[in-house]
Amino acid sequence: MNTGYLIYQAERPRSGAEQRQVDIVHAELSRSASRRWQALTAPVRAWRRRGRQSGLPAGYQAECLASEGLTGQHA
Q: Is residue 74 part of a domain?
A: no
Q: Report how many domains make up the chain.
A: 1
The structure's pTM equals 0.50
Q: What is the pLDDT of residues 7-61, one digit of tens each?
A: 888 888 889 999 999 999 999 999 999 999 999 999 988 888 887 666 655 555 5
Spatial CA neighbour of 49 closest among 58, 41, 40: 58
**Which residues span the domain enclosing 27?**
18-68
Q: Is residue 75 part of a domain?
A: no
Q: How far is CA 43 from CA 25, 46, 47, 64, in A?
A: 29, 5, 6, 19
